[in-house]
Amino acid sequence: MAGRPSQRLHQGKKTEDLNILPVMNVFMILVPFLLLSASFVQLTVVDTTLPATKTKTVESDSPTPTPPKLSLTVFVRDDGFLLAGYGGVLEPDGPAAEGEDAGPDRFIIKKIQKGVDADGKPLMSFDWDKLQEQLKKIKEAFPNHYSIVILPENTIRYETLVKLMDTTYNWYERTPDGEGGFTTETHELFPQPILAWSLSGGGGA
């Protein structure tokens, strides 16, 4: 009668199957839960401040001569932007001349045509590039100025406002990195937007 074969060679091969059932249970609970609570859109915010209680004092102080300090204001109108520099209490419909060099303290940036719509009418768009060019120049002259007053007209949409604040916040310098891509450098412009509304005319300015 043959003896039992030696088990010595088989000792190391005694692998027990890992019990993965509990892990699977955990996964099965976690994955649906996380899928439900996952946010696939990333949200962001743009900080703005209100002129708070100062609006009235600006109005009452406006006739008195103010020292020449920059009070940068962007009027957003249906036909484009008006950038006002000193004083900040310029009338949006005042005697504004045309063109970029309209005066030392104000510039008009007209909308530009971006193609045509279905009816053949010209599609007008705000000239964001020109606005940012102008803001860059102002920033060079006033490197320590950070606030910008935004004064939109009634018809200006929220989307335009957000885009405007993006434009006035930073500008991005793109330089080719030699490998077909770009390196982006961020430069600060006016990161403190102040939302304002004209005092005259209440709801219908």
Residues that bind another protein (CB under 8 A): 2, 5, 17, 20, 23-24, 27, 30-31, 34-35, 37-50, 52, 76, 128-129, 132, 152-159, 161-163, 165-167, 169, 171-172, 174, 182, 184, 195, 197, 202-204
Instruction: Decide: 87 and 56 in contact? Cβ < 8 Å.
Output: no
Question: In whole angstroms, how close is the CB of 130 to another protein at the nearest point?
Answer: 12
Whether the CA torsion 90, 171, 173, 125 is positive or negative: it is negative
Strand partners, 76: 81, 152
**Cβ(79)–Cβ(111) under 8 Å?**
yes
Task: CB nearer to another protein: give 45 or 141.
Answer: 45
Residue 64 or 158 with smaller CB distance to another protein: 158
| Complex with another protein: residue 107 or 169, whichever CB lies closer | 169
Give the SS3 label for residue 8.
helix
Residue 92 CB, nearest approach to another protein (Å) = 13
Kind and range of the H or E run holding 109: strand 106-110
Which C-beta is closer to another protein: that of 64 or that of 175? 175
* Token pair recorded at residue 191: 């990161």
- Other beta carbons within 10 Å of 102: 15
Contact assessment for residue 101 and residue 95, using Cβ atoms and an 8 Å cutoff: no
Question: Nearer to another protein by C-beta: 52 or 141?
Answer: 52
Shortest CB 196 distance to another protein, Å: 9
Q: Which structure tokens are listed for 164?
A: 């405007």
Dist. CA 102–CA 60, nearest whole Å: 27
Dihedral of CA atoms 124, 127, 128, 129 in degrees, nearest 10, equals: 140
* Closest approach of another protein to the CB of residue 4, in Å: 9
Kindly state the smallest distance separating residue 192's Cβ from another protein, in Å: 11
**Residues near 167 by beta carbon (within 8 Å), at least 6 away in sequence:** 128, 131, 132, 135
**What's the closest the beta carbon of residue 68 comes to another protein, in angstroms?**
28
Residue closer to another protein by CB (options 66, 192) is 192
